[in-house]
Every structure is written in structure tokens, then in C-alpha cells.
Amino acid sequence: MASDQSFLIWEDEEPGSEQWWLARAHESDNASRDFFIAEDDLTGYLVGIVRRDNSSSYKVISATPISSGQDTLSFVSSAKAAVTLWVSTGEREHVWRWRLARWLKLTWLQTPIAFAGFVVGGLLGLIFGFFAVSSGIVGWPMLAAGLAIGAGAGPALKFLVDRRPKQPVVGPWVRFVVVTLSASAGAAVSAGGVFALFWGA
């Protein structure tokens, strides 16, 4: 914590500078910590961040919601106050709300590729299931093979998504896991349904 005599010295972003932060500060008696305020376009929050000893890691210490239709800069003063509150008391104002809003938004953004993976995996599993039943070659090994074929649609869909001009917020491994699990689930539902209806019928 800062001492009673410590205060934050703020510097606002200059118009046209295109910095990633809207304001930054350092403590009057502590040069080892830098503070920043940046806008999270995904959630509509101004987040307060602290960086220690010029390290490459940052810690979110506050989150200030931005009202829709109002100028972002009008909320910078509130964001500065939230950072000051953390310096003096350690209270991380609204951080849990920001994390929840960000998680929900990221989850929602993955819904289209998850649904596409489920549909494509389901179609492949359905085709494979009917082939296995009609040929009389059934059993758990065939079911496992059907799931593997369905899961193979995941990397293919992920490759197509990565080629879009505008990249998603999440990383490539997250997209890979999402589409692969979705395709596997679709294949399991369709192939399992076919085997349950026609296996041994």
C-alpha cells in the first residue's frame, strides 16, 4: 500500500497519439509501480491495470462500466478514482463483474463455430453410422471410429475460421478445442442415435 503522503501523478493520452492506454500514472513516492487505464472494447469497461517493476505482466485492479451512447473520456475520471481506491484500500472495484461479462461475451462469440462443429460432426457421424449399420460392421470399435471421423471436422473448421480477415479475440488453441469438442459431440449424438435405433434391429 502507498503511504499517507503518496499520491498518483496522472498523464492523459494525447489526442492522435494512438496509445493503447487512455491514462497512466505513477506513485509520487514509489517508482516501481505503473498504473494504466485502458478501454476493453469487448465488454464496454474501462479497466485499471498495475504493472510492477517494468515487467511484462499486468494485473487488473478495477473496472468501470461505460454507459452506452456516452463519450468514453467522460468516464476516465471515475476510472482514475477506482485505481486510487485500490492504491489506498486494496479494493478491486467491479473486477468480478468485468470478468464475468468478458467470459460471457467470449462464450457467445464462440457459439457460431461451436454450432457449426456440432452440425458438421453430426452429419459425418450420421453418414458413418448408417454405413456401419447397413454393412453389418457394428460394435464399439466402429463407434469409436465414427467419433474420430466426426472430430476430424473440428480442425478443418478451425482452419476455415482462422482464414477470416477479422480474427476472433480468443487464441487458436481455444478455437481448436471448441470446434473439436463440438464436432465430437455432434458425431456422438448422431452415430449413437443411429446405433441405438438400428443396431441389432
Query: Which residues have a Cβ under 8 Å from the Cβ of 140 and sit 6 or more positions away?
Result: none
Same domain, 74 and 159: no
Query: Which residues have a Cβ under 8 Å from the Cβ of 193 and sit 6 or more positions away?
Result: 129
DSSP β-bridge partners for residue 25: 10, 35
**Gap between the Cα atoms of 165 and 74, Å rounded:** 33
Residue 168 in this model has a pLDDT that exceeds 70: no
Question: What size, in residues, is the chain?
Answer: 201
Buried b / exposed e over 76-94, threshold 16 CB at 10 Å, is beebbebbbbbbeeeebbb
In tens, the pLDDT along 60-69 reads 999 999 987 6
Q: Which domain holds residue 23?
A: 8-102
133 inside domain: yes
Residue 26: per-residue pLDDT: 87
144 inside domain: yes
Domain termination residue (choose one: 83, 102, 121): 102
Domain termination residue (choose one: 57, 77, 102): 102
35 inside domain: yes
Give 173 or 83, the one with higher predicted confidence: 83
Domain termination residue (choose one: 49, 82, 102): 102
CA 195 to chain centre: 36
In tens, the pLDDT along 125-150 reads 788 777 777 776 666 666 666 666 66
Same domain, 58 and 76: yes
Residue 98: per-residue pLDDT: 95
Strand, coil or helix: 10:
strand
**Burial class (CB within 10 angstroms; exposed 0-12, middle 13-18, buried 19+) of 41:** exposed
Residue 174: per-residue pLDDT: 75
Residue 162: per-residue pLDDT: 62
83 inside domain: yes
3 inside domain: no
Please give the tally of structural domains in the chain.
2
